[in-house]
Amino acid sequence: MGYVEAGGYDRDMNYIDDRVVEHPEGGREWPVEAGRYRLVGSRACPWAHRAIITRRLVGLDVGPDAGPGGTGPAPLSQGLCGPTHDWKSWTFDLDVDSVDPVLGVVRLRDCYLHRYADYPKGITVPALVEVNSKAVVTNDFRSMVTDLATQWAPLHRSGAPDLYPAELREEIDAMVDLNFRTVNNGVYRCGFAGDQASYEDAFAVLFARLDELEEHLATRRYLVGEHVTLADVYLFVTLVRFDHVYHGHFKCNRNRIAEMPNLWGYLRDLFQTPGIGDTVNLDHIKQHYYRVHADINPTGVVAVGPDPAAFYTPHDRERLGGTPFWNAAGNAEAPAAPRPEDIRDGDEAGAFA
């Protein structure tokens, strides 16, 4: 996740960049295949949270042939690590005997070593793991999430939304890139800055962009177009953590998102959308940041507030038009309730039941 370092924070963006695609052409491309892979993530990590939400919205937890209530095997199963980890790896301490029930491993690190015996880099989530070999296929969250929304389309549920419409991709990509540099990674540039000047520079960039987004969302319900896209998914995972973690822990404290009316309404709108807010676990989020980042919070004391009930208050964003879900077939609809095996204690899914 990052550590305090001298000067500005520089995120390592070198990943296992294989892809799982509908029509692989050899090399480092793998075929989309139901049941072959397992998505390993954590409710705590925003980069993994992107993949968790996308899997849920497009229905890779139920697939195109699901029976009533979403029964049947998931085309892409999901493993969830606990909120804390040591320097070696994320662990499956939420499961019985701390063993992932499908992969049979205690540490995600084992799956990286099954792929590369001398894997030298950090063990990150999300990771797509091939079930039979127990080897990581890719941990590149950038291409992975886009591919889940597009390349995995043959395994999407009936009525799945199009989160990356072809006619909006250029605009979505531009929005995603700018928000990544200034907001998604911007909060980390504040939190892990190693000197005052670097922190103040990151702080200024972050809040300048939040001010732009506040203005942008004054007259439109979503970031791009009239429906939820990947641009919204990617911004949501940062905004939902902002007041609970980044405001205090990362010193992003000019103001809270709750003090920015348009962003706050937008955040509550997304949070209350099925398939988005029900993937949130605020306890996991706070446990992770406040306990794992010992260089920032050496006492390990975890903040109590804010009250998550605020996420459920009316947002009045419907007045701006648009609807949450869209696809070209005209049958887009919200996902059903999450599968029981995908729910962990503290998930907001219980509040949506």
pLDDT tens, residue by residue, 193-241: 999 999 999 999 999 999 999 999 999 999 999 999 999 999 999 999 9
Residue 152 burial class via C-beta count within 10 angstroms: exposed 0-12, middle 13-18, buried 19 and up: buried
- Statement: residue 270 has pLDDT above 90: yes
pLDDT at 258 over 60: yes
**Structural domains of the chain, ranges and CATH numbers in brackets:** 19-155 (3.40.30.10), 166-352 (1.20.1050.10)
Catalytic residue among 37, 112, 188, 222: 188
pLDDT at 13 over 70: no
State the DSSP string of 225-241.
Answer: TTS--HHHHHHHHHHHH
Query: At residue 141, what is the residue type?
Result: F
Q: What is the pLDDT of residues 139-162, one digit of tens each?
A: 999 999 999 999 999 999 999 999
Where residue 1 falls among pLDDT bands split at 50, 70, 90?
very low
Active site residue 37: no
Say whether 264 counts as a known binding-site residue.
no
Residue 172 in tokens = 């979505």
Distances (CA, A) of 196 to 188, 221, 242: 14, 36, 21
β-strands 37-42, 127-130 pairing? antiparallel
Give the sign of the dihedral formed by CA 173, CA 179, CA 180, CA 182.
positive
The answer, yes or no, to whether residue 71 has pLDDT greater than 90, is no
Q: pLDDT of 279-333, one tens digit each?
A: 999 999 999 999 999 999 999 999 999 999 999 999 999 999 999 999 999 999 9
- Tell me whether strands 19-21 and 127-130 are parallel, antiparallel or unpaired: unpaired
Distance (Å, whole) CA 239 – CA 157: 28
pLDDT at residue 10 in the model: 61
Residues 6+ apart with CB under 8 A from 11: 2, 185, 188
pLDDT at residue 184, rounded to an integer: 98
pLDDT at 52 over 80: yes
User: What tens digit of pLDDT does each residue of 228-242 get?
Assistant: 999 999 999 999 999
Residue 45 known to be catalytic: yes
What pTM does this model have? 0.95
SS3 (DSSP) at 90: strand
Sign, CA torsion 139/141/143/147: positive
> What backbone torsions phi and psi does residue 157 show, to the nearest 5 degrees?
-70, 160
pLDDT at 64: 86
Catalytic residue among 9, 15, 37, 45: 45
Q: Is the pLDDT of residue 12 over 80?
A: no
What is the rounded average pLDDT for all residues in the chain?
Answer: 94
DSSP codes joined into one string, 203-218? HHHHHHHHHHHHHHTT
